[in-house]
Structure 1
Amino acid sequence: MNSSVPPWRATASAPVSTPSAFSSATPAYIPVHARRSLAPNQANPPAPYASQPTMSTPAEAETRKRVEFPPAVRTYVQRCFAPENNIPSVTTAEMQEKLRATITTAAENQKLGLIDWERLALPQVMIQNERNKILANPSVSSWAMSSQSTSPGDSSRKRKSTDLHQSETGSPPWRKANHRNRFEDRVTYPPTEKKPRITLDDSSKSRANLEMRRKRFEGVGGSHGGSLSSSPTDSPAPTTEVDQGPVIGRCQALEKNYFRLTSAPNPDTVRPLAVLRKTLDLLKKKWKKDGNYGYICDQFKSLRQDLTVQHIRNDFTVIVYEIHARIALEKGDLGEYNQCQTQLRVLYAQQLGGHPTEFKAYRILYFIYTRNWTAMNDALADVTAEDKKDPAVKHALDVRSALALGNYHRFFQLYLDTPNMGAYLMDMFVDRERLSALAAICKSYKPDVNIRFITEELGFESDEQTARFILDHSTEKMLEEKNGSVRLLAPKAFTFFEQAKAEANRIVDIKGQI
């Protein structure tokens, strides 16, 4: 082993000798003294901050104690992220920033336990209200008002495609200026207020379009006063206060068409609870008499909207959603049913009455149809031992078990004995299970099988219906009349039903409403 010490190991007491050829050259490294012990180096004392302790003192730990949020605050946060409370014009990042500011302000002011979080407006609603106040300012919207020559009664008409394009004389001033200017640079704010960051597209989301949408909403249900644009010039600028409560309706009309809200709801177009109860009675009578689903669905959506903007959550709210869900099931409108089912789950969690076990059974059957096994696991986790005693829940669990075991005989027995309105849900996937059962029958029976046996085994109403179902998924050559009965040539038909089974078992995608 070479005993020579490399240059960087050298100490002050042992200088390194270098060849004469390199004596005048600058070394390519910086000599460093090697540390021989763990004792503090007196020659090079540590930096001032190194002497500070790394652990917090008990006093500091106490000051940094984690804030315990009340259950009402946690429920409020959950409602903020619920899908049914989303507002398309408000992004998730904007909502989260507003939520953080609201809770932080309340915590700093020691008002977490004083605020009524159940009645407090959601962050996305606060943002939308702030934007509407800006748009309602005459200094902002006066150009749009001057460009309209129609009478006030025409404001209730639906917007036409020609209304989207403003004339040259009715264009806002910034249309003729630099298009790179942001919206917040075109509005005057008090110097002490923080400018809300609002970005609007210069075409379909321009202020002109929002103004016309606002006017259209105000015209619903008759000509009412209280227009947002009628606020005085010296109206207060938007603030970030968290004291915005629910709307209190004043409309007395029993029937009102549904319009998607694009601005803060006008109390003159919102019906109070007493009127909504009369509306529900009227809708039930009209549904039994006329059966016009398009009209009934529109009226129920309007009724639900009035409940939502007024923050009404009681037993009447549960009744409205349950009736609408049953009607949607009857007409096969799974998009509308799914919206009602999602909201009902929240209402049932608040112990507001209704029929939770009935809709738990529907929920299980619905996830069997959509083949959403992740959601199915959540639904099964919600089922209690007491729920399993209910006939509807027990039936839905038996249906799931029969399909999991491939027991089509048991499945079709359950199909013919479905409680409540579960048969409407099972009708949506019974043909899919019939194809799976026929594939299994064709694989097991040789050389043929009687049509009558298939009719009884797969829950068909008649042999004619069975034959029609077979012909829809195969050819006429698969059926043969023998000894006075019609028989299915099972081995030959196996390929047809196996392909039809694979096609039918694709993942169901619910696109939405009818």
Structure 2
Amino acid sequence: MSAPPWRSGSTNGNNRNGAFHSVNSRKTLSSHHEGTQTLTQTSPPEQTPKTQFPDKLKDYVARTFEDCPPEEKAAVELELKRIITDAFNEKVVWSLEWDEMPLPQAILARRKVTAKEEQTAGALAMGQMGRVSNETGSSPTSPFIRKPNYSNAMDVDYPGKKRKSGELTPPTPDRFEERSDKRSRQGDKFLPTSGKLSQREKDKRAKRFEDESREYLPDSATPEVSDNKKPLIGRCMDLEKRYFRLTSAPNPDHVRPLHVLERTLEMLKRKWRSEANYSYICDQFKSLRQDLTVQHIKNDFVVTVYEIHARIALEKGDLGEYNQCQTQLHSLYREGFKGHEEEFKAYRILYLLHTCNRADMNELLANLTPADKEVKAIKHALEVRSVLAAGNFHRFFRLYLEAPAMGGYLMDSFVARERKAAMCMICKGYRPDIDIRFLTEELGFESDTDCVNFLCENEAADLIEQKSGDKGVPNSIRFQTAKALPLFERAKKAAFSKVDIKGQL
């Protein structure tokens, strides 16, 4: 049996009866070279079918329901539908900056605060009108008293919404207090009209608006600066810094600038090669990624950081962390930043095979270009998908052993599941027993020992027996396939019932 190109070294098996043999073990990331051709493709919004949604809008919807309490889900969903519907009606769904758009939870919370203030202001106004009516004889129900009216959140300018002049106007609290006749005719009745607020009240509202918006935004989107300030630039000079989840606006004294982060990456690469301490490396990479995010840095260096962290996570089998990196890389590639896009497209195909995500798989296949399909890694991943769809397990395990780059690590995540399905077919086709060596080679195991361990893990240890051969024929280890069929049918059903992965794209 030929050894896969992404494995090196050797693992000795038990050769007592001549039934076990040694095979190569897997190489690490330190010997992995990253030289792959990069092909970047961009799709302008105007070429996208009207039935499609922008990726930023999909991310906006995902953030909306990420931490949404069950009791607020109905109201949040209704508000989200209104926001998206109005964006389509205004024809700004593709031009709108959904990353800066307040979440429906923030809009609803702001509306509740405003309603409470309007009720208080209305009560004060009614008291004043009551005093006036006692003096002048006017009725307190005079039509000149305005009653508060609440309109849709889309009536208020949101970040990125285009005005007739074509300018992008960010929301400021002052605009919520201004009540010109023109805005009144347009139906903007979001705030009370009981009188003009003092500057002190305006400052209080502005601070409260920022606090409420920050409360509902995820850590990665926490606003560090307002539109009239410069972007945050870190001042920390430490190469190493532990990762802490942000609960407030980042402090520049605790954030490292870009030139320090570049030195940090080189240091982490050296430490990974020499120490291979994944807990330390993962923590440091998450801290590095956080410093890049809060400073809104997007360039080819950011792509390199996410690619290296993704490969390390793959080597250690941390699919949750890998998928977080994969999600960001997918967005960075679409924005035109350079990296090893073809390599990670192939990884994504294999990852979607693991999660059995047919919808995203169909979308990915539709976006592949003819040039993409000629890349070795992508071509291999597409063939894996084809043989699995056809049930050709013999070819699947050959592809598993021949996986280029780090594709073998991704296939490790679902190869055990496919072995159980293959064993169901073998148990039906080979009766009453079969040689262990055949199973080892057919199911892509590294040694006969690994094959026996696999059978024992699936409660088939009692079905393994050693038979003595005739004169001149060595002893052989046989597996009773007829009795094993019910065991592997149950194992297959359990393996395909659910795929639980954190941070799935």
User: Structure 1: how far apart are the matches of 2:313 and 2:106?
Assistant: 29
Do the aligned partners of residues 380 and 467 (structure 1) sit closer, same or farther apart at CA in structure 2, a change above 3 Å counting?
Answer: same
Instruction: Give the distance between the partners of 1:460 and 1:249, measured in 2 at CA.
Output: 50
Aligned residues of 1:435 and 1:500 also touching (Cα < 8 A): yes
The alpha carbon displacement at 1:382 in A equals 2.7
1:395 is aligned to 2:386: no
Aligned AA (1:340):
C
* Residues 1:504 and 2:495 aligned together: yes
Q: Report the aligned-residue RMSD.
A: 3.5
Structure 1 residues 90 and 343: CA distance shift in structure 2, 3 A = farther
Counterpart in 2 of 1:256? 241
Q: Which amino acid aligns with 1:455?
A: T
The equivalent residue for 2:200 is 190
Instruction: Report matched runs for 1:404-443 at 5 Å.
Output: 404-443=389-428
Measure how far apart 1:467 and its partner are: 1.8
2:309 paired with 1:318: no
Alpha-carbon distance between aligned partners in 2 of 1:501 and 1:280, rounded to the nearest angstrom? 43
Instruction: Give how far 1:307 is off.
Output: 1.0
Q: How far is 1:381 from its partner?
A: 2.3
CA shift digits 1:257-279 (9 cap, x unpaired): 11111111122221111111111
Cα deviation, 1:377-426, whole Å, max 9, x if unaligned, reads 22222322111111100111111111111000010000000001111111
Q: 1:70 to 1:419 in 2, by over 3 A?
A: same
Letter of the structure 2 residue corresponding to residue 511 of structure 1:
K
Per-residue deviation at 1:475? 3.3
**Could you tell me whether the CA contact under 8 Å between 1:246 and 1:309 is conserved in 2?**
no
Partner Cα separation in structure 1 for residue 445 and residue 163 of structure 2:
64
**Cα distance in 2 for residues equivalent to 1:271 and 1:460:** 46
Superposed CA offset, 1:424-447 (max 9, x none) = 111111111111111110011112
* 2:476 aligned with 1:491: no
Distance across 2 between alignment mates of 1:474 and 1:265: 53
1:434-513 matches, cutoff 5 A = 434-482=419-467, 483=469, 484-511=475-502
Contact kept? 1:321, 1:344, Cα under 8 Å: yes
Residue 492 of structure 1 aligns with an amino acid whose one-letter code is K
Contact 2:433/2:480 (CA < 8 Å) preserved in 1?
Answer: yes
Is the partner of 2:205 in helix, strand or coil?
Answer: coil
1:295 maps to 280
TM-score after normalising by structure 1: 0.59
Contact 1:474 1:493 in 2 (8 A): no
Q: Does 1:346 align with 2:331?
A: yes
Residue in 2 that maps onto 1:286:
271
- State the Cα deviation string for residues 320-350 of structure 1 (Å, max 9, x = none): 0100111111111111111110000010011
Q: Which runs of 5+ in 2 are unaligned?
A: 1-88, 112-151, 174-197, 216-223, 470-474
Q: Distance in 2 between matches of 1:353 and 1:198?
A: 38
Aligned to 1:56: none
Larger Rg: 1
SS in 1 for 2:477: strand
Counterparts of residues 70-469 of structure 1 (less than 5 Å): 73-74=95-96, 76-77=97-98, 79-80=99-100, 101-103=157-159, 107=163, 110-112=166-168, 190-192=200-202, 195=205, 242-469=227-454
3-state SS, counterpart of residue 254 of structure 1:
coil
The SS at the match of 2:413 is coil
Alignment partners' CA distance in 1, 2:499 and 2:293: 30
Q: Find the aligned partners of 1:462 and 1:107 in 2 and give their Cα distance.
A: 68
Q: Verify the 8 A CA contact 2:100 2:159 in the aligned structure 1.
A: no
Cα shift at 1:193: 5.5
Which residue of structure 1 lines up, in the alignment, with residue 78 of structure 2?
A: none
* Match of residue 45 from structure 2: none
Q: Distance in 1 between matches of 2:321 and 2:105?
A: 22
* C-alpha separation in 2, matches of 1:273 and 1:476: 56
Q: In 1, distance between residues paired with 2:90 and 2:501? A: 42
Q: Distance in 1 between matches of 2:360 and 2:497?
A: 17
Q: Is the 8 A contact 1:371 1:507 kept in 2?
A: no
Counterpart position of 1:215:
none
Letter in 1 for 2:167: K
User: Relative to structure 1, is the Cα distance of residues 309 and 290 closer, same or farther in structure 2, using a 3 angstrom cutoff?
Assistant: same
Contact 2:110 2:209 in 1 (8 A): no
Residue identity in the other structure for 1:269: H
Task: Name the CA distance, whole Å, in 2 between partners of 1:189 and 1:465.
Answer: 75
Distance 2:279 2:105 in 1: 27
Q: SS where residue 253 of structure 1 aligns?
A: coil
Distance 1:91 1:320, change over 3 A: farther
AA matched with 2:498? I
Q: Where does structure 1 lack aligned partners over 5 or more consecutive residues?
A: 1-65, 128-187, 206-227, 229-237
Aligned residue identity for 2:163: A
Change (3 A) 1:409 1:97: same
Per the alignment, do residues 357 and 105 of structure 1 end up closer, same or farther by CA in structure 2, a change over 3 Å counting? closer
What SS does the aligned partner of 2:201 have? coil
Q: 1:89 to 1:412 in 2, by over 3 A?
A: same
Letter in 1 for 2:476: S
Seq. identity, %: 53
Deviation string, structure 1 residues 199-258 (Cα, Å, up to 9, x no partner) = 999xxx9xxxxxxxxxxxxxxxxxxxxxx9xxxxxxxxx9xx744553112221111111
* Matched residue count: 336
> Aligned with 2:416: secondary structure?
helix
1:464 CA drift (Å): 2.3
